Amino acid sequence: MFVGHYAAALAAKAVQPKAPFWTYVLGAQLVDVAWAGLVLAGVERISLDPHLPGSPLVLSYIPYTHSLPAVAVWALAAGLAAYFLLKLPRVAAVAIGLVVLSHWGLDFLVHRADLPLWFGGPKVGLGWWNAPVPEQALEMGLLAMAAAAWGWRRGLQGHSGWSAPLFVVLLVTVQLASILAPPTGGPSQMVIASLSAYLLATLFAWLMDQTERRGR
Ligand SMILES: [Zn+2]
């Protein structure tokens, strides 16, 4: 899942605009950013099977980033960092924590059974990746609904311009590119490409925060 996770970020920004946009955008993929780092470090293990439908990922060992208790710890850490380091209001820090937590729920829908319920525990996942068309419809539908709410909230706040629609278009473009031209190469290349997309989305969101703060 790629764009579906960002639906959580847009919805959160619509509901609780006190947190900077970049914190939600990073929060939505925080455990995947950590996953990329730990896979590259050889701590978590994945492989690719290009014959699998939906996603070639075989996530054989991802307990530190994608087990349920681990995601809860990442969410708590993100909330605490938002409150103590970024000095955000408590409601905004809670919203960031919930966005981080949402990653597990959304992954649960699409992943094949590779998400550990606890360390060494049974692995779960509803496996919508095996039905790529409904899976894509789910992700795009979630993004469209969240983007509508986000756009409406931005309108109320007097934000206009091209940056928000461009952000959504860029997300959808990355999603379509990964479907139409799946990354070739090994797991490391795929992980680096994914990490680059997460960090670019965060950078774009941060730039939006800066320009909109200056505009106020
Ligand atoms: Zn994930």
What are residue 55's phi and psi, to 5 degrees? -150, 135
| 104 CA → ligand 1 middle, Å | 7
* Joined tokens for residue 178: 């990964």
Residue 214 has pLDDT above 90, yes or no: no
| Res. 178 pLDDT band, cuts 50 70 90 | confident
Specify the pLDDT at position 76. Answer: 98
Specify the pLDDT at position 106. Answer: 97
| 157 CA → ligand 1 middle, Å | 32
| 160 CA → ligand 1 middle, Å | 32
Asked whether 6 and 141 are in contact (CB, 8 A), the reply is: no
| 20 CA → ligand 1 middle, Å | 22
What are residue 48's phi and psi, to 5 degrees? -120, 140
For residue 75, CA distances in Å to 25, 27, 33, 52, 97 come to 14, 8, 13, 30, 4
What's the pTM?
0.95
Nearest Cα to Cα of residue 41 among 186, 191, 202, 185: 191
| 78 CA → ligand 1 middle, Å | 16
pLDDT digit string (tens) for 82-99?
Answer: 999 999 999 999 999 999
| 106 CA → ligand 1 middle, Å | 8
| 204 CA → ligand 1 middle, Å | 21
Q: Which amino acid is at 150?
A: W
For residue 54, CA distances in Å to 34, 80, 111, 136 come to 22, 35, 10, 9
Quick one: average pLDDT of 149-163?
A: 91
What are residue 114's phi and psi, to 5 degrees? -130, 5
| 31 CA → ligand 1 middle, Å | 6
Q: What span, in angstroms and rounded, lies between the C-alpha atoms of 214 and 195?
A: 29
For residue 108, CA distances in Å to 17, 76, 129 come to 27, 19, 11
| 191 CA → ligand 1 middle, Å | 12
Residue 216 has pLDDT above 80, yes or no: no
Break the chain into its structural domains and give their ranges: 3-207
Specify the pLDDT at position 182. Answer: 74
| 206 CA → ligand 1 middle, Å | 22
Asked whether 104 and 68 are in contact (CB, 8 A), the reply is: yes
- 156-170 residues labelled b (16+ CB within 10 A) or e (exposed): eeebeeebbeebbee
pLDDT digit string (tens) for 1-50?
Answer: 899 999 999 999 999 999 999 999 999 999 999 999 999 999 999 999 98
pLDDT digit string (tens) for 107-152?
Answer: 999 999 999 999 989 999 999 999 999 999 999 999 999 999 999 9
| 107 CA → ligand 1 middle, Å | 6
Q: What span, in angstroms and rounded, lies between the C-alpha atoms of 142 and 148?
A: 10
